[in-house]
Amino acid sequence: MSQKPLGFSIWGTGMIAEFHAKALAEIAGVKLVAAYNRSPAKGRDFAAKHGIAFAETPEALLANPDVNVVCLCTPSGDHLAPALACAQAGKHVVVEKPLEVTLARCDELTAACAKAGVTVAGILPRRFGAGAVALKAALDAGRFGKLTLAGALIPWWRTQAYYDSAAWRGTFALDGGGAVASTRSTCCSGCSARRSASPPPRDSSPMRASRSRISRQAGSNSLMAAAPRWPVRPPAGPVPASRPKSASMARRGPPSCATTS
């Protein structure tokens, strides 16, 4: 007797929902069974295209006994409320990137799912890409020795058409910011970031950063540069006495810097 496939649904039938539907069609043992969208016309078109049921309301979607997992494809800053509803209904949740737009909202989302005993999974699209897999294999093999510094240059560019395609894109409320926020969840999807349980060292200094808005209509920053500063810790134990200056050093005086243009 064959096992019943795991039933998936999609909440939010915008552009990214098509990628979810395509991926689910390629996975054995799962089946896309339903979808919901706050715009009924768009939701019905999506459901008809994929041969699935359309739920008129979120409550109807979550009441469907064939739905085991919900893929949240709503705007980035509108993941929390649907996820809470899914958890309360006992449905597992796959959340599009980013999980949410603030750490507090991410914490609330994950805590609710843990309390309800449902699984919450975040989309990390680059983690299993060929480049990330090769890099991870090289790291595991110790090819780079002891790493002390790493850098990355990812010259991606989103045109103004991307931000014009939906009113929520590039806003602080629903996108968490401009390109700095929306692209970071893709670029950094091969990494896992968590808050440290221990306080920062007492001699830590704040990060110097600058940002600017270069997108014509994005409502927030779309370019940022940052440089963290790590002060040198004083050596442990007594400080050695200063070495006396030589006669030549005394004659020269302190070093000077000259700038020419």
The residue written with tokens 């709503």 in the block is 74
Mind listing the pLDDT tens digit for each residue in 215-258? 445 555 555 555 555 555 555 666 555 555 555 444 544 444 44
> What tokens does 44 get?
């019905």
The pLDDT tens digits of the residues spanning 58-89 come to 999 999 999 999 999 999 889 999 999 999 99
Angle between the 40-50 and 15-25 helix axes, to the nearest 10 degrees?
20
Indicate whether 24 pLDDT > 60: yes
Whether domain 6-122 has CATH 3.20.20.70 = no
pLDDT band at 138 (very low <50, low <70, confident <90, very high): very high
- The domain locations on the chain are 6-122
Bridging pattern class, strands 30-36 and 53-54: parallel
